[in-house]
Chain A
Amino acid sequence: MLRIALKGVLAHKVRLAMTALAIVLGVAFVSGTYVFTDSIQRSFDSLMSDVNEGVDLYVRGTTEFGFGGVRIDEALVDRVRDLPEVAVAAPSVEGIAQLVDEQGEPIGGNGPPTFGFSYVPEGEGLTPLVIREGDWPRSPTEVVVDAFAADAGSIEVGDVIEVILPIGTEVFTISGIATFGDAENLLGATLAVFEFETAQRAFDAAGSVDTIAVVVFPGADPALVAAQIADFLPDRAEVVTGEQQTDDDVGEFTEGLSFINTILLVIGGVAVFVGAFLIQNTFRIIVAQRIRELALLRAIGATRGQVTRMVVLEALAVGLVASAVGVGAGILIALGLKAAFAGFGFGIPTTGIVLLPRTIVVGMTVGIVVTIAAALVPARRAARTPPIAALRDVAAPPRSLGTRIAAGTAVTGMGFSLVLLGLFVQFGNAVAVVGIGALVTFTGVSILAPLVAAAFARSAGAPLRRMGIVGRLAQENAIRRPRRTAATASALMIGVALVSVIAVFQGSAKASVAAAFREDNRSDFQVQLGSFGDPASSGLSPALTADLRELEVVGSVARGRLGEYRSGPDGGLKFMLGVDGPIGEQVVFEMADGSLGDLGPGTAVISAAEARAFDVGLGDFVRVQVSSGAYMELTVVGVFEAAPIGASLVIDLATYEQYNSFRLDQFAYVQVADGFAAEEVRPAIEEVVAGYPNAKLTNTEELIADTEDQIDTILNLLVVLLGFALVIALLGIVNTLALSIAERRREIGLVRAVGMERRQVRRMIRWEAVLIAVFGGVLGLVVGVVLGSALVLAIGQGFTLAIPWVQLIVYLVLAALGGVLAAWIPARRGARMKILDAIAYE
């Protein structure tokens, strides 16, 4: 049987090659993702272990979660240094420093963080930084920047540049250029290093430090020293080993990386899933075309099991080869991803490409398992071939309609229930449940699809009839094998459904944001970051608000700063907002109880959901944990129904600063003073904001447009990545058409003989492809709109459903064009078919 199976593979090289390509692409994406993230991880790990080499202990503020724990008292530096066994105690202050180039444009900061560090002479060699040119900063006006930023901003030693700091924008002279270990660039992050006292001032850390790096004398036991230090440490401060610090640094980074890894793997998974449809369809067609051969095997005594095994063995052979090629191609994908990320400014310091055994195992397993699983149904169908089919043209009895309806409905129902369960019933891994539910739904719809394929081709293809016989034949060809048409269309359906879900989400998000801003916003102007930035590592300098408040034309400025907190009852991490200024006048909070105006030190305004969770009302206490691990006890002075900013706890900025060392603002809202017209005073405000090159001034409509752009940017990136799955689906159409045309060789020969021109043949094949593609597109739109609507409704919170019909129709047109594209080669082949070969008798 093995020999027959292998010969079967060789006999169908070309058609299997297309199938193999689908597996290769899917596996390549999955393994490429692993290679990519593993390579980054490896470089980062080695970088980080270099970094903390030679440091025995670190003293630092505690951080339980999130960002912006607390700093520790500077006095601790001397106490540590005074310990007899301590050789070096080097303090460090960290913060965020946005470099500005000569043209006044921010350098980096578009996603990757913009770090600021301090320099002390005794810390030399204990930090990851190595001076490449010039010298460390020795005066309050000097700064060292990293090589990547220097290159990006064309900065040289001796240049004077602006740096945006929490205390405002200041001017420094470049005293040196540093590298991060051997790497010129740490994932696009920029670095600015200041003299210690300057850093303390710049990062609003007077009298405090972030960490103290400790080196003990040779022969001393670091553990004992750690114990001595721990004795006098206050609450919210801790001493850890160098290794622990490394692990924490790496862990934080790994968390971010695993997020990227997950997204890429999900997309790879979709690609593989789409590939599975293609595989199943190819095997189905191959089995149908070899029915006589299979029947002959049955007639001469092969059991059903043997026939099944033979087809499965073929699948195994294809899966094995394709997966191996896929793993290899994964390295190319990884290089492509690296280049793509570099293109977005995320330079990646790779020490090389890392191909872990895990990557090979996962890639091979995914490829082989998916191939075999997809071939199982066709294999069992092959086994049902009656031996008599060897002599006559008898197809294997098709599964009954009733079974198909029942199975399809059950599977679709189950999938959709899972999606709803995941969306509406909050629990553990809801995202995974939704994902699996979506895949099951796709499978269910694909089972049902053949039932409507013929009806669809008949009605949607009706206009084709008016084109005459060519259109009519195209339509009939799409109708005649509903299962093949449906299976081919299903692969496309998945891709279209996913981009439609995104489109529905995108449309709803934009509509909701616009509505919310128009309804809730009372400010004349808003200042926010000009680029997309991580709220944990970028923001507006607080000095900006102070500058704005000095303007005569400005009536009031309200600003907010984001932070995370752990909510008492359910333990989940949520956003809190520290506010300063009359926020309630600038933004409408729909209050259920109390007032925002009562907010002051030690008080909080919370969302109605939180109030219910804590079971509190006005005047009651809530106790929540902040990043450092400390607890805030706050008196509730107000409860709001819906927060326009998405935070569920609002506190006074003074309270915020007491508990969190993060010093950058998320936004500043401006109302002009009475008697001034907003647009008239805009130049004056603009001038102040221009002093902070990473800040951007907008009015409400501009803000809506900007926010919509941001939503588009992020989601379009996803759509582009999903394009991979769509390409595989189009390959499926190419494959099906090629196989169908081979099957219809005689018919094409006949119509050519009786006078059909080549271009008419091409047109016929093209329209068939368009029908299949549009069928897939319509199925995808339907499923996508249903799933997308469920998603939007599940999010709730003022999220209103808005279905972007125009965009969806564009997708449908694109699907049809994709069909034309997919038909390109099959149509040419069909048209070039030699008439004589086609009509030759056996």
Chain B
Amino acid sequence: MNVENAAARVENASKVYGAGDTEVTALDGLTVAFERGRFSAIMGPSGSGKSTLLHCLAGLDYLTSGDAFIGDIRLGDLSERELTLLRRKKVGFVFQAFNLIPTLDAAENITLPVAIAGETPDKDWYETVVETMRLGDRLDHRPSELSGGQQQRVAAARALVSRPEIIFADEPSGNLDSKSGEELLGFMRKAVDEFGQTIVMVTHDPRAAAWADRVVFLADGRGDGELASPTSDQILEFLKSMG
């Protein structure tokens, strides 16, 4: 893949937790890049390092060695504050759960990163996002008044509204029933297709991964193959072959 066109990438990335007997290698010299404007999924068994990779790419965690880039920016060069500003400007997040601030209503949660930056959201874009996520009639509800699917859609809208270079999603449909999950992933797909948004998603669910343009497989902190626009059956097959 063309490195110049990568929205995010790691080179020779290693991440070691703990020391001595309790040492755990989460990433082991991994090099991988994620292209702009595409929907990528990272898969792998528990402990394969997929969440660690996402966290290090997103500037939430540091690599032990190697480099992580968002666009051309080497994350290791940034101070804590610069990293925060980078996350604010260039990165969006959708977590598995606890995505929303309970004291803010849906609209406020969507505009949270913009508000933190002390800016006002682009009104047209905001409305487009809200409409895409079908949240128009839920904007003045607090998270406790929203269903799980609606909550995750608010989270996705929040990730989109600041027009980040890349959105990282960590098991976004993990806590949802299959219908809501499919719905959410459909919206994410739409964001990639219609707005050219870059999304990198970690998941262990082949049906979720099947929404992606490309699926990267990890095992023991190393790359273990990839599939382009696979079906969920193909993914399942691949996982079985990984053993």
Q: A residues near B, CB below 8 A?
A: 468-470, 472-473, 476-477, 479-480, 746-747, 750-758, 760, 835-836, 839, 841
Task: Kindly state the separation between the CA atoms of A473 and B102 in the bound complex, as whole angstroms.
Answer: 10
CA distance A104 to B2 in the complex (A): 95
Q: How far is the CA of A841 from the CA of B96 in the complex (A)?
A: 8
Residues of B within 8 A of A472 (CB): 104, 108, 115
Cα(A751)–Cα(B55), bound, Å? 15
Contact A469-B112, Cβ < 8 Å, known A746-B98, A755-B88, A839-B98: yes
Cross-interface CB contact of B85 among A746, A757, A836, A841, cutoff 8 Å? A757
- Interface residues, chain B, CB within 8 Å of chain A? 55, 58, 60-61, 80-81, 84-85, 87-89, 91-93, 95-104, 108, 112-113, 115-118, 158
Give CA–CA (A354, B218) in the complex, Å: 73
* Partner of A754 from B55, B98, B108, B116 at Cβ < 8 Å: B116
| 9 smallest beta-carbon distances between A and B, as pairs | A755-B88, A476-B103, A469-B115, A746-B98, A754-B113, A755-B87, A756-B116, A757-B84, A755-B113
User: Which A-chain residue is minimally distant from B118 (CB atoms)?
Assistant: A468
Closest to B93 in A: A753
Are A480 and B103 within 8 A (Cβ)?
yes
CB B5 to nearest CB in A, in angstroms, measures: 25
Whether A479 and B81, one on each chain, are in contact in the complex, defined by CB atoms closer than 8 angstroms, is no
Residue pair A754, B104 in contact (C-beta under 8 Å): no
Complex-state Cα separation, A477 to B118, whole angstroms: 19
Within the complex, which residue of B81, B93, B97, B115 is in contact with A757, where a contact is CB–CB below 8 Å?
Answer: B81
A841-B101 Cα distance, complex, nearest whole Å:
16
- Provide a sorted-by-A list of 23 A–B residue pairs whose CB atoms are within 8 angstroms: A468-B118, A469-B115, A476-B103, A476-B104, A480-B103, A750-B98, A750-B101, A751-B116, A753-B87, A753-B93, A753-B95, A754-B88, A754-B92, A754-B112, A754-B116, A755-B85, A755-B117, A756-B88, A757-B84, A758-B80, A836-B60, A836-B61, A839-B60
How distant is B75 from chain A, measured CB to nearest CB, in Å? 14
A753–B118 CB distance below 8 A:
no
Q: Are B61 and A473 in contact (CB under 8 A)?
A: no
A477, B88: Cβ atoms closer than 8 Å = no
Of A470, A473, A746, A756, the residue contacting B84 (CB under 8 A) is: A756
> Closest chain B residue to A746 by CB distance?
B98
* Number of A-B contacts defined by CB within 8 Å: 74
Chain A neighbourhood of B102, CB < 8 A: 480, 747
Contacts of B98 in A (CB 8 A): 746-747, 750, 839
Give the one of A472, A754, A756, A836 with max B CB within 10 A: A754
Task: Give the chain A neighbours of B96 by CB distance below 8 A.
Answer: 841
B55 touches A755 (CB 8 A): no
Q: Decide: A473 near B104, CB < 8 A? Known: A468-B115, A750-B98, A835-B60.
A: yes
Known: A755-B85, A758-B84; 17 extra A-B contacts, CB below 8 A, are A469-B108, A469-B115, A470-B116, A473-B101, A473-B104, A479-B103, A747-B98, A750-B101, A751-B116, A754-B87, A754-B92, A755-B113, A756-B88, A835-B60, A836-B61, A839-B98, A841-B96
Residues of chain A within 8 A (CB-CB) of B89 are 755
Residue among A473, A477, A751 having the largest count of chain B Cβ atoms under 10 Å? A473
B85 near A753: Cβ-Cβ < 8 Å? no
A480: B residues at CB distance < 8 A: 102-103
A795 nearest CB across to chain B (Å): 48
Docked Cα-Cα span, A835 to B84, in Å, equals 11
Rounded to whole angstroms, the CA-CA distance of A753 and B116 in the bound complex is 11
**B95 cross-chain contacts in A, Cβ below 8 A:** 750, 753, 839
Bound complex: CA A476 to CA B101 (Å): 10
In the bound complex, how far is the Cα of B93 from the Cα of A760, in angstroms? 19
Bound CA–CA A750/B109 (angstroms): 11
Q: How far is the CA of A438 from the CA of B60 in the complex (A)?
A: 53
> How near does chain B come to A513, taking the closest CB pair, in angstroms?
51
Q: How many Å lie between the Cα of A754 and that of B102 in the bound state?
A: 15
| Nearest residue, chain B, Cβ from A479 | B103
A480 to chain B: closest residue by CB: B103
B residues within 8 A CB of A746? 98
Contact B115 A754 (CB under 8 A): no
User: A747 vs B97: C-alpha distance in the bound complex, in angstroms?
Assistant: 11
Q: Which residues of chain A are near B118, meaning CB under 8 Å?
A: 468
B residues within 8 A CB of A758?
80-81, 84
How far, in whole Å, are A472 and B115 apart by their CA atoms in the complex? Answer: 10
Cβ-neighbour of B112 out of A479, A751, A835 (below 8 A): A751
Per the bound structure, the CA–CA distance linking A753 and B98 in Å amounts to 12
Question: How far does the Cβ of B62 sit from chain A's closest Cβ, in whole Å?
Answer: 10
A760 to B61, CA, bound (A): 20
Q: How far is the CA of A479 from the CA of B103 in the complex (A)?
A: 9
CB pair A755 B116 closer than 8 Å: yes
In the complex, the chain B residue whose C-beta lies closest to that of A469 is B115
B140 → chain A, closest Cβ, in Å? 15
Q: Which residues of B contact A469 (CB under 8 A)?
A: 108, 112, 115-116
The complex places the Cα of A747 from the Cα of B143 at a distance, in Å, of 13
User: In the complex, what distance in Å separates the CA atom of A644 from the CA atom of B196?
Assistant: 88
Residue in chain A with minimal CB distance to B144: A393
Given A753-B87, A754-B158, A839-B95, A760 and B116 touching (CB < 8 A)? Answer: yes
A669→B113 CA distance, assembly (Å): 75
**B67, chain A: closest CB distance, angstroms:** 19
Task: Kindly provide the distance from the CB of A302 to the nearest chain B CB, expressed in whole angstroms.
Answer: 29
Alpha-carbon distance between A583 and B100 when the two chains are bound, in angstroms? 79
Shortest beta-carbon distance from A746 to chain B in Å: 4
Distance between B202 CB and nearest chain A CB, rounded to angstroms: 12
Closest A residue to B101 by CB, please name it.
A747
Q: Is there an interface contact between B97 and A841, defined as CB atoms closer than 8 Å?
A: yes
Contacts of B112 in A (CB 8 A): 469, 751, 754
Interchain CA distance A470-B92 in the complex, whole Å: 19
Give the residues in chain A near B87, CB-CB below 8 Å. Answer: 753-755
Q: A6 → chain B, closest Cβ, in Å?
A: 30
A756 vs B96: C-alpha distance in the bound complex, in angstroms? 20
A473 to B108, CA, bound (A): 10
A836 touches B55 (CB 8 A): yes
Which chain A residue lies CB-closest to B92?
A754
Shortest distance between the CB of B217 and any CB in chain A (Å): 22
Residues of B within 8 A of A476 (CB): 103-104
Residues of B with C-beta under 8 A to A750: 95, 98-101
Measured CA separation A18–B125 after assembly (Å): 49
A517 to B163, CA, bound (A): 74
A755 with B84: in contact, given A750-B98, A750-B101, A836-B61 (CB under 8 Å)?
Answer: yes
How far, in Å, is B60 (CB) from chain A's closest CB?
5
Q: Is the CB of A753 within 8 A of B103?
A: no
Question: Cβ of B103 and Cβ of A477 under 8 Å apart?
Answer: yes
Using A756-B116, A836-B55, A836-B61 as known contacts, say yes or no to A751 and B101 having CB atoms under 8 A apart. yes
Q: How far is the CA of A264 from the CA of B6 in the complex (A)?
A: 72
Please, how many angstroms separate the alpha-carbon atoms of A836 and B112 in the complex? 19
Shortest distance from the beta carbon of A288 to any chain B beta carbon, whole Å: 15
Instruction: Look across to chain A and name the residue whose beta carbon is closest to the beta carbon of B55.
Output: A836
List the B side residues contacting A468 at CB < 8 Å.
115-116, 118
Q: Which one of B60, B81, B100, B115 contacts A753 once the chains associate, using CB atoms below 8 Å?
A: B60
The residue in chain A whose Cβ has the minimal distance to the Cβ of B58 is A753
Using CB atoms, name the residue of chain A closest to B168: A753
